[in-house]
Amino acid sequence: MTVLSLLPATELLLTSLFLLACILLFSTIISCRPKPPALFPPGPRPLPLIGSLHLLDLKHMDTSMMKLSKKYGNVFSIDLAGLRVVVLTGYSTVQDALVNLADQFSGRPHNPLFDKITFRMGVIFSDGKLWQNMRKLVLSTLHGFGMGRPLQDRITEEVGFLVSQIEDQKGQPFETLPILTPATGSVICSIIFGNRFECDEERFLRLVKMNTEILQLMSSVHVQLLNFLPWLSFLLSKTKIIRNRDQMHKIIADMIQAQDNRTSVSDKLLFKLEQESEMEDVKMRDRNTLCMIMDLLVAGTETTSTTLSWGLLLMSKYPKIQKKVQAEIDQVIECSRCPRIEDKRSMPYTTAVIHEIQRFTNIVPLNLPHSVTTDTYFRGYLLPKGTYVMPILTSVLQDKTQWEKPEEFYPPHFLDGDGKFVKRVAFMPFSAGRRMCAGKDLAKMEIFLFFTSLLQRFNFQCPPGEPELDLTPQVSFIQSPRPHKLCAIPR
């Protein structure tokens, strides 16, 4: 006797109708799902509604994609709840797409989360002609601001304040990221607004805090689900991410209004936007300005401070490497002066260590999404115009064909047999091609000057009696170290 036969006639009818409706709905979903175009890259067979989300670890998307690539190849497709994405893995594949076919892979696809946050404006998440104009504008403005002595002096000034903060710890354990982030944030704010902000100024700290929260929330599982499930994406507007964005825009607008420095980047951007922008709607132009400045703040604060935090953690983990860096610093730089960017050419080992920190820590593992700007034939496959593309940076920075010890921290990756620094083609921490980070040169200068200055003044080490330092990253859009404390002992 079946369960259905035990039900009353009315309930039996309703249950049967419900089951029939479910079957019809299921069949409709399957039949309505568009088939991949001819010559589209292969991939796992998707399930109704969720696609292939069941195959992914949403906290470690990069490693999930790399596992799938072992089965489907370095160019494969995956269905993310109806969004068909082409995934690229390995140095050769990513280089071929982003560099050799730079124009075709320079688009930025629609993404519910990024679209909600940025309105598809600014320089990072805009697309098409707007993006081309904004990137050109930002690059020319930063270049005009000067990447030489004036900028070095600003960074060195901030290093001095940071050194004082660390000295105040008196060798006791402290967390590095909470003081590094305001320091790098102060540098980019001084460039944008023309004034240095004290690290205890309330609105500045609010900016830094909300920026960090946005990046952390972007990687949370519930936000990822809202992003990938189109029927839930409307809920993104209710999240703290959007509230933080609105508050950051208000603070930035107030800072622009209050500034009295006519040589700041924001003032130059405003002037050029008024002269060159094709946006006749003043409200839209102002929103674009806020998005552009927020892009500069986000890109110029968290990534640099996270890299430096990783660097100090790694030096504490590997004291022999720290001592070799300090020996080179002492040899090249007189103890009475601060490091300068010109010293870099005489410091091959330190330069190799900094590059290896960036490679090993891989702080933006997924890269930012790309799209193809025209129908593109790529490695035997046809990618229709607008195809969403994910070039996985982890697969480049840990490519076993390019790195001798890809999963280890190994500075000799960037040294030849004579101890001279060598560039590596698979070194892509800033991505590559047309969408490469616009602030790359500023970030490289900051990382070198902060890192060498701190190691010139302090020995960093694990607090006495603490367990061995953990190099497992904390899950976030920007991959940062887990909360930890170090001791900074004056040299």
Render pLDDT for 434-489 as a digit per residue (tens, 0 to 9). Answer: 999 998 999 999 999 999 999 999 999 999 998 889 999 998 889 999 999 999 99
pLDDT tens for 316-342 read 999 999 999 999 999 999 877 999 999
Q: Model confidence at 31, in pLDDT bands (50, 70, 90)?
A: very low
CA distance 268 to 262: 8
| 204/238 Cα distance (integer angstroms) | 25
**Which residue do the tokens 């997924």 mark?**
366
Q: Are 192 and 297 in contact (CB under 8 A)?
A: yes
Q: Read off the pLDDT of residues 383-395 as tens digits, 9 standing for 90 and up.
A: 999 999 999 999 9
CA dihedral (123, 129, 132, 137) in degrees, to 10, reads -70
d(CA 293, CA 81): 33
Reported as a pLDDT band with limits 50, 70 and 90, residue 310 is very high
Residues sharing a CB contact under 8 Å with residue 273, sequence separation 6 or more, in sequence order: 137, 285, 288, 289
Choice among 4-13, 185-194, 306-315, 368-377 with the minimum mean pLDDT: 4-13
CATH topology of domain 110-367+400-490: Cytochrome p450 (1.10.630)
> Higher pLDDT residue, 30 or 212?
212
pLDDT digits (tens, 9 = 90+) for 352-361: 999 999 999 9
Tell me the C-alpha distance between 176 and 192, whole Å.
Answer: 25
- How does residue 305 score in pLDDT terms, banded at 50, 70 and 90? very high
pLDDT at 268 over 50: yes
pTM score: 0.91
Q: Name the pLDDT band for 262 (thresholds 50, 70, 90).
A: low
